[in-house]
Chains A and B, each alone.
Chain A
Amino acid sequence: MNLKNAGIKAVALAMGVGLMAVPAYAVEKPFPTSAVASSQWITPFWVDVNEVIADISSSGKTLYPEVYIKAKSTSAKITGTLYLEKYSSGKWKKVTSWSISGTGSLLQSESYSGSSGTSYRTRVEAEVGGESVDSTSVTCKL
């Protein structure tokens, strides 16, 4: 009976380890360290979405949060929120937000006057044809 119990536990553990490897396999594609790869991030998530980019640029003290979303279907509804966040006291905090909406694809740009010495980033949360997507930009320090 001890052998039987040990066998059952070993099989359960093997199943657990095997199943844990599935999500790891989903992102196992090797990512070389070339100049292109180092600045891009390819992630394997969606069914209804081709591309999502949350971006931020600046000129002087003006920040330009942007978002681009492309759905696989030209008739897919896109709705969501574009957030501008700032880094404060060890956390990212929301500064302001804008609603986004479109059909098939959308590119939306906003502007905001920021504070010197503060790091900002853009984050987008959206629904594309019923599928949830989100993306976060790099930080931009004024």
Chain B
Amino acid sequence: MSSPFENVMQGACRQSLYNEFKACSQDIENDDPSQSVEDNEITTLARKIGVLPTEYKNILFFRYCFGFSAIDTEKMLQIENAAGKWRYILKMLSVFMGVKDDVIDESSMKKAAQLALLQYTAYDDYEEQRNPRYSRAFRRKLKEIGSAQKSSNIIMLIANRVAIFVLVCAVSFCTVLAANAQVREKFFHWIVETFPQFSSFIPQSDDENAGPGDWSSVQIGYVPEGFALVNRLEGKAMVVYEYSSGDGRTISVLLKTTVSPIQLDTENADIREIPMENQTAYTWEADGFAYLVWQWNGMQGSIVAETSSEEVLKIAENIKK
């Protein structure tokens, strides 16, 4: 631990050294012959000071505008050899201004430094900083730098690309599905086949197989006016009665004993439930046809007709066996 006497001695020596440096810098100033610069060239000199590197500008400002010594300048700016750098700057500026063997005098340097400081502090580039205008080449460079920084994490980069690809594929697929009925049909068929528990209402149990139906006693009790039977198609488990009118309209009545699904056109249709003989029937219109599906006497029935829904319902209600 240093004694108070030693601390005092250290402080005194430090001050003495400081005074020596100050004297040296003043001696340097007094030795060099100097030359003043014309008033109309002060602006030029100020402009030259303005384009110096920041450290050099600060050395001149601290000396000629704020009156700091070289030692103080070194302390304030945290630099070394301020005096030597000042001499170098002074010589350089003197050569630029055409003062060859001499240096620019103190008075001219003061005027120019003060003018340069004014210009330096008066420059308002805030707007430019807020909204910088970069050239296209520079923007491209910035982008490359940004990409280079991002690519340091390879996993995130790959994940990003994969996510974009998946998103584009999903959107494209959905657009195709929405626009193309054929693709939609195949897709839904695949869905139904693969996930029947979510898309089909077919009974799970197939223990009781339907057998052939007895259609001999079936009678279609009501047929709309103008329609006549043109065909009767009989299979083992289903029978179809086909009617036609003079103007080319058709009615088909189907009855079957099995529980296999009936696929009918319901696109954009408003399906309505209607009560019918203690059951619920379903009816809708689509594309100029009226449809009815219902259960009757242990059988399934469907009617597709180019008539009104009321006529279709009347046909169904008048089927007898």
A residues in contact (CB < 8 Å) with B: 12-13, 15-16, 19-20, 22-23, 26-27, 29, 31-47, 49-59, 64, 66, 68, 70, 72, 74, 105-109, 111, 119, 122, 131-142
Contact = CB atoms under 8 A, between A and B. Distances in A.
Contacts of A139: 206
B203 A138 contact: yes
A53 B171 contact: no
Interface string B183-207: 0111111000100000111110011
B94 interface: no
Contacts of A16: 167, 170-171, 174
B174 A66 contact: no
A122 B235 CA distance: 14
A81 to B, nearest CB: 16
Nearest to A139: B206
Given A22-B178, A29-B266, A59 B212 contact: yes
Contacts of B238: 53, 55, 66, 68, 107
A43 B264 contact: yes
B263 to A, nearest CB: 4
Nearest to B306: A72
Contact of A47 (B181, B199, B210, B264): B181
B73 interface: no
B115 interface: no
A42 B280 contact: no
Contacts of A105: 231, 233, 240, 242, 252
Nearest to A23: B177
Given A45-B188, A109-B236, A53 B178 contact: no
Contacts of A66: 235-238
Contacts of A64: 212, 235-237
A38 B252 CA distance: 23
Interface stretch (B15-23, B130-138, B217-225, B286-294): B286-294
Contact of A134 (B189, B266, B282): B189
Contacts of A33: 201
Interface of B: 167, 170-171, 174-175, 177-178, 181-182, 184-189, 193, 199-203, 206-207, 209-212, 231, 233-238, 240, 242, 244, 248, 250, 252, 254, 256-269, 271, 273, 279-282, 287, 289, 293-295, 300, 302, 304
Contacts of A52: 262-263
B131 to A, nearest CB: 14
Nearest to A46: B265
Given A36-B294, A64-B235, A107-B240, A137 B262 contact: no
Given A35-B279, A39-B203, A46 B181 contact: yes
A97 B253 CA distance: 27
Given A39-B201, A55-B258, A68 B240 contact: yes
A32 B280 contact: yes
A53 B254 contact: yes
5 contacts: A35-B295, A40-B293, A109-B235, A136-B193, A141-B209
Contact of A53 (B256, B257, B281): B256
Given A12-B167, A27-B188, A50-B304, 17 more contacts: A20-B170, A31-B201, A36-B279, A36-B294, A39-B300, A40-B300, A45-B181, A54-B260, A58-B209, A58-B210, A74-B250, A106-B233, A111-B236, A138-B202, A138-B259, A139-B206, A141-B207
Contact of B209 (A34, A53, A74, A140): A140
A122 B260 CA distance: 10
Contact of B203 (A13, A38, A108, A137): A38
Contact of B174 (A23, A31, A140): A23
A131 B287 CA distance: 16
Nearest to A35: B295
Nearest to B179: A22
A74 B247 CA distance: 12
Nearest to B256: A55
B282 A37 contact: yes
A37 B181 contact: no
B49 to A, nearest CB: 38
B48 to A, nearest CB: 39
B233 A135 contact: no
